Amino acid sequence: MAKKQHGKTGIAMDKRKNMKISENIYLGVASSEDDDDEAPEEVTFEDSKATALRSMKQAIDSVRREKELLKEKRKKRQELFQEQKKRKLLPDNILEEIDSTVPKKPKVSEVEGQGKEKKRRRRYKRRSLKGNCSVMRVQDQSLANKQQQSALKFIQSRLYGKGTKRTTASQLLSLENKRALNKTAAVQFVDKQWGLERKEKAKKFKKKWKTKQGSGRD
Amino acid sequence: MGDFKVHRVRFFDYMPSGIRCMAFNHKTHRLALARLDGSVEIFNFSDNFFQEKIIPGKDSQSIEAICWVGERLFTASLNGGITEHDLVNLRPKYSLDAFGGPIWTLACNAQGTHIAVGCEDGSVKLFEVHPENIQFERNLDRQKGRVMSLSWHTSGAQIAAGMLDMIRVFDVKSVTSSGKSYCAQNAGGSRRRVRRRKCVVWSVVFLSDHTIVSGDSAGKVQVWDGNMGTLIKTHQISKWDVLCLSASQDENSLVAGTSEGTVVQFQFLASTLVEAEKEWVRTRTLKPHTHDVRAVLELEQIIVSGGMDTQLVVRPLMDKVEIKSQDTAPRKIHFPHRRLVSCAEQAGLLLFQFPAHLEVWRLGESDGHGRPGDRLLVRRKPEKLLQLKRKGEEQISCSALSNCGGWVAYSSVSSLRLFRLQCDNNHLSIVKISSLPKFLSSAHQLCFSADSSKLFVASSNSTVHVISLSKSECKLVHSFKSASGCTEPVHLLAPSADGAWLATANGACEIHIYNLHKLKPHCSLPLHRSCPSAMAIHPTTNNLVVVHADQQIFEFSVVEGRYTDWSRKLQRVGLHPLWLQRDTPVTHVTFNLQNPAQFLLHDMYMFCLVDQSLPLPEQRDQFFNQLTLKSLSEDERKSRIHAFKICKRFQPLLSMFMLKDGALVVVERPLLDITTQLPAPIGQKKFAT
């Protein structure tokens, strides 16, 4: 909990706040001194001051460390995002070809520091180029195949997609069973609240059980 | 009846594929049916709904529409091709790309001169039918959005096309691309349409009086005036989609199939007795299916429907029927009328044929003896020895396992493969035989001889090749050309146990017997009007037992070349009416090795032991008399007993074999197992559940 709070406030934390913390700590120490009257006064003032200072320093250090950790985390994340974006992009040579086909403004000299900015700009430009078209390799998928896939998807979404109110086979069977004259055990007994693993297990068990029943009938 | 040790096999996980579309040829009475896996099946409706032919599919080809043009069969696929099928060689003849993206629908005009296809890109393309092929003629006016359904007017001058939210009528004859086209906007017509997705017109029917009937994804069947483009009547028949429509030939009746599994009939009737004006009235609601009805046909007084629950339902309408009989009973066709399981009777192995692979299992063993009806303990469990995946994307059309369990062969449309299996204790090795003759590229049926030394391959043009098998090489011994010059595919092969004879049956109902020693045709059986569905040659007497799709049984003495006396007697007395009323064909014949006078037959619901030494049942005798016989005394039993002993314990029966040790193997496929694996059905709220 404490860490989280630090994380939230830590960004805007300044020296004044640190002072406050140290004051609190000081007060805390003082109050403790008041509390135990009977205890022998072995701790000198210097010692107590030193411990107080130490604890204060530790507090400040921990705050700073937290800040640094956070910074590092953010940095790592940023890097990860960039890498992912790079992975999503097509290989460089293809991008170059696409770029070369379109008349382009003269290239800005490539400096290491400007690399990021340039990439971003390039990406932006490609997006505007595309319009409704998308770039894909022919060898990945023939046109007919892709069309067939999309047609199948259309049928699937129409017949089994959202809003078609499909149930499962086991529910159909249980409904039949409920309305039958002589009711028997469920063909597939599964509870909605079960996890996936348990459902699978139940299915397997059921299958075994059914074959046993089947062979037992003769 | 005789006692048998029975291996009850329930581990054949055969899963039929859902039915996508159907077409009926009124001239030849053949139903063509396409399944979701791309296979096409032909049923003969004038021969007891027997499944005559199966054209195996390809993985990449999903058929969306099917139609007959004369006696030629065309299908259209989502991969954008139109395919004509060769019904003699059971393979696609040629495929033509329509260049319009995936094809959703295909329709032929009544004259049989043109085919129209509806494509993904919104175009309707016309193809001219030539004797050898089809040729692209022109595009009709291209629309926005896919064309989901098409229907020709009987005159051949107009086509109605169902699209997204729209029905359009094209004028075919005009010189310009489209003369007049009326636009029936908002076919969905629902007020909620704005919020909803677009309404898909799944099916249209163009009647000869220029009425257009449409079925759409809003669950409506709507009747439109085709001349004016106005809506006449709306029938809301479902909360879900209306997927298919079909009108009878006289256009007095119309059926619609819905996602809920219901089939709704409409009739063109005068609403009151006085009025002369007729209108479409909803008359019947049937629920033949549990899942979506993807294809429906209205024939004369019969509704045929099929859908995602993989069964074909043939339901006669009881309009003019007074007496209940075999013809008025609804029937369901679940499984192919074809052998999917082979058995090595010596080795105790089973071969299961799936569209994409083969499985070899070793049967379990049990010890001890029990009283009849007891369940024996299994000492060794059945064991899957091998799973053989096919090469390429063509489905397996037939397969065979030799008697000794040492050879496995399978064939697809373009390749025939032979494997040598070696099984020592726990070690199994499989070697592909590559030295097969080159011309053996496909087979309609495969069979090994009883001593596993020869392979019989039924190939194109009714030719049967005999191949001798040995460890070193496989070579062709002889090719038997069809004795009558018939080119129909051979669908049954029956070799004799002594290796002297081979009987073949083809799609034209012919049965030929060949002499394997002299390598010459021996004789042909008299032609029966119905297709043979199973046959086998008796191991000791060499009598050929043939069972036809109309349930007739014949016994033919191969050596003497004539029907046996028992067969003549059976024809004279006639089969029992209850036997003739069964609605599934006999798919296998085996012989009882312990008693040469007995043979066994089975269909989907029963198996029957026929004892030729016993008297035949008279027409009025009790046919299913097992239980009554049990309760009678010895003397009475003798007077009541007859030749047909029927056992219905094992259902639904896919195959039955008799092993060398006299044990029976029954292969069952419980329908419940299939139901649990079907795609999701529509969920409906039922009161009090």
Residue B175 scores a pLDDT above 60:
no
Q: What is the pLDDT of residue A26?
A: 45
- Strand B543-548 vs strand B183-185: parallel, antiparallel, or unpaired? unpaired
Contact with chain A for residue B120, Cβ under 8 A: yes
Q: What is the pLDDT of residue B327?
A: 67
Contact with chain A for residue B292, Cβ under 8 A: yes
Q: Which of A20-24, A49-53, B61-65 has the lowest mean pLDDT?
A: A20-24
Distance separating alpha carbons of residues B635 and B637, to the nearest angstrom: 5
A169 to chain B, closest Cα gap in Å = 5
**How confident is residue A183, by pLDDT bands cut at 50, 70 and 90?**
confident
Q: What is the pLDDT of residue B190?
A: 47
Average pLDDT, integer, range B103-121: 92
**How confident is residue A9, by pLDDT bands cut at 50, 70 and 90?**
very low
pLDDT in tens, A135-147: 666 666 677 788 8
Give the count of beta carbons closer than 10 Å to the beta carbon of residue B85: 21
B686 neighbourhood in chain A, CB within 8 Å: 175, 178-179
Q: What is the pLDDT of residue B367?
A: 78
Give the count of beta carbons closer than 10 Å to the beta carbon of residue B487: 15
Give Cα separations from B364 to B345, B377, B384 (angstroms).
14, 10, 10
Size of interface A-B (CB pairs under 8 A): 89
AA letter at B242:
V
User: Which strand (E) or helix (H) includes residue A128?
Assistant: helix A115-130
Q: What is the pLDDT of residue A171?
A: 83
Residue B322 scores a pLDDT above 70:
no
- Smallest Cβ–Cβ distance between A168 and the set B101, B672, B680 belongs to B680
B310 neighbourhood in chain A, CB within 8 Å: none
Rg (CA), chain A: 35
In this structure, what token pair is assigned to residue B563? Answer: 């029907």
Q: What is the pLDDT of residue A138?
A: 64
Contact with chain A for residue B309, Cβ under 8 A: no
Give Cα separations from A108 to A111, A113, B152, B649 (angstroms).
9, 12, 64, 86
pLDDT greater at residue A122 or residue A68: A68
Q: Do the beta carbons of residue A97 and residue A41 sit within 8 Å?
A: no
pLDDT greater at residue A104 or residue B238: B238
A134 to chain B, closest Cα gap in Å = 19
Give Cα separations from B155 to A180, B26, B71, B175 (angstroms).
51, 18, 20, 17
Residue B431 scores a pLDDT above 70:
yes
Q: What is the pLDDT of residue A17?
A: 47
User: Which strand (E) or helix (H) includes residue B138?
Assistant: strand B134-139
pLDDT in tens, B194-224: 455 788 899 999 999 999 999 988 899 999 9
Distance separating alpha carbons of residues B637 and B672, to the nearest angstrom: 38
Q: What is the pLDDT of residue A215?
A: 47
Please list the helix, strand and coil fractions of chain A in percent, rounded to the nearest 5, in that order: 70, 0, 30
B677 neighbourhood in chain A, CB within 8 Å: 169
Q: What is the largest CA-CA distance in chain B?
A: 88
Here the ipTM equals: 0.85
Q: Do the beta carbons of residue B369 and residue B683 sit within 8 Å?
A: no
How is A18-41 classified by DSSP, letter by letter?
HHHHHHHHHHHHHHHHHH-SSS--
Give Cα separations from B199 to B91, B166, B195 (angstroms).
37, 8, 11
Q: What is the pLDDT of residue B600?
A: 93
Share of residues in chain A with pLDDT > 70 (%): 51
A149 to chain B, closest Cα gap in Å = 9
Distance separating alpha carbons of residues B81 and B94, to the nearest angstrom: 10
Residue B562 scores a pLDDT above 50:
yes
Q: Report CB contact under 8 Å: A187, B79.
A: no
pTM here? 0.80
Interface with chain B: mutation pick from A172, A179, A209, A212, highest number of B CBs within 10 Å: A172
Distance separating alpha carbons of residues B76 and B66, to the nearest angstrom: 6
